[in-house]
Structure 1
């Protein structure tokens, strides 16, 4: 969970995107509107929706 003032986020992808968008100089994500950013979105969603689900099933049967 991430608490940023009145904002409370609890989804992994939402937290990652919020941190990347509010801190662009950090280099956490590629620039908006680029092909690299689209790939970043693809892999972030895969990690949080596909891999994470598979790991939960594997480790917590």
Structure 2
């Protein structure tokens, strides 16, 4: 997000949550339709933002 924690608004949080959580869930649900039938597996990865917090 690139902004200090105390400046995060509901809009910032919703955008982040929708991208990182809902996006993952919806993509995984769609992948299950294909990989599940063939015995495949889903490997979820996260972004590097967690390793680069906003400086204070």
TM-score category by the smaller chain?
0.3 to 0.5
Compare relative contact order (CA 8 Å, sep 6+) and give the higher one, 1 or 2: 2
**Higher strand proportion (structure 1 or 2):** 1
Give me the TM-score of the superposition, normalised by structure 1.
Answer: 0.40
Give me the TM-score of the superposition, normalised by structure 2.
Answer: 0.43
